[in-house]
Amino acid sequence: NDNAETLARAEAQFGVPAAMVVGIIGVETIYGKNMGNLRVLDSLATLAFDFPEAHPRAAERQRYFQGELEQFLVMMRNAGTPTTEPRGSYAGAMGLGQFMPSSWAQWAVDFDGDGRIDLFNSTADAIGSVANYFKAHGWVPGQPVLYPALFNTDSLNLPTLLAPDILPSFTPAQMAGLGVIPQDGMEHQGLLALIELRNGNAAPSYVVGTQNFYTITRYNWSSYYAMAVYDLGQEVLAARTGSTPAIAMPVTIPAPATPALSVPAPANAQ
C-alpha cells in the first residue's frame, strides 16, 4: 500500500504486474529485512579465486564470479564507495532485489529520479529495476504465468513433454496431443512448458508454464523459485484487494482407470 503509486508506475512503464515485483522482493529479502550481512568484496573474491573444485561446473562458475568481481570493483570506483562497505549475500547479490553487480550495471534504473541508483535504500529504484529486469528477459504483458494441468492418461507422453525442461516449446494443441491440456489455456498465444515439481518421495506435481513463468526463472534458475514468487505475489494481491488468490495448485498425474474385470457367465447346467 505504501508503494502502490510506484508499483503502478512501474507496471505502466515496463508492463510487469505489481504482484510480480512484490513477489520477487519478498522472496529475495523479506522486503528489505534480510539483504545479507557479508562483505560483497569477500564473497565475490572467494568465489572468483577459490570456487569449490568439486562443483560440476567449477571452471565456468569461477569465470562468472571473476566477471562479477570486476564489475563490482568498477561500480565502486565510479560511485566513489569504499569496496569494503557494501554488504550482501554469500554470492555477492545486493540490495532489496538482490542484484548481482552485472545485473545492477545492465538493468538497474534510477526510478525515483534523484540522479543515482540505490538498490539498498530506494524502494522506488528497487521496484523499477526488478520490473526492468523482467522486461529485458522476455516478460509478455498481459500473459498469464501458468495454467493448471489437466491430464489425459490415455495419450500422455511425459518424456517428450519434459525433455525441454522449463523452456516453453509446445503450442496448446501440441501439448494437448501429448496428453496435457492447459486448463483455460487452449487459446493461449505462444508456447508452453510442462513444469514438473518434485516432492521428495511423494509423486511429483505439475503446472503448465508460459513464457512469463520462464522469465521469472531468469532471476533464479529454479521452477520452485518461480512458483514461490508467483504464489507470494498473488497472496499479497489478494490480501490487499480482499479477493481470492489466483493460484493454480500443482496437480499429480491421475492413476489410469483400472478396467473392470470381465467375468464369464457360468455355463448352463446340463
- Pull the grid cell for residue 48: 572468483
Give Cα separations from 187 to 173, 184, 211, 220 (angstroms).
9, 8, 15, 29
Instruction: Count Cβ neighbours within 10 Å for each residue of 163-197 and write b for 16 or more, e otherwise.
Output: eeebebbbebeebbebbbbbeebeebeebbbbbbe
Strand partners, 194: 208
Q: Which one of the listed residues 5, 11, 28, 196 is annotated catalytic?
A: 28
38: cell is 557479508
Phi, psi angles (nearest 5°) of residue 264: -65, 145
Beta bridge partners of 192: 170
Residue type, 75: M
What span, in angstroms and rounded, lies between the C-alpha atoms of 24 and 16?
A: 12
Residue 94: closest CA among 110, 118, 114? 118
Three cell numbers written together for 3: 508503494
Single out the residue of 229, 186, 253, 262 nearest to residue 26, CA to CA.
Answer: 229
Task: Provide the CB-side half-sphere exposure for 77 (13 A, CA).
Answer: 6
Whether 28 is catalytic is yes
Q: Which amino acids are annotated catalytic?
A: 28
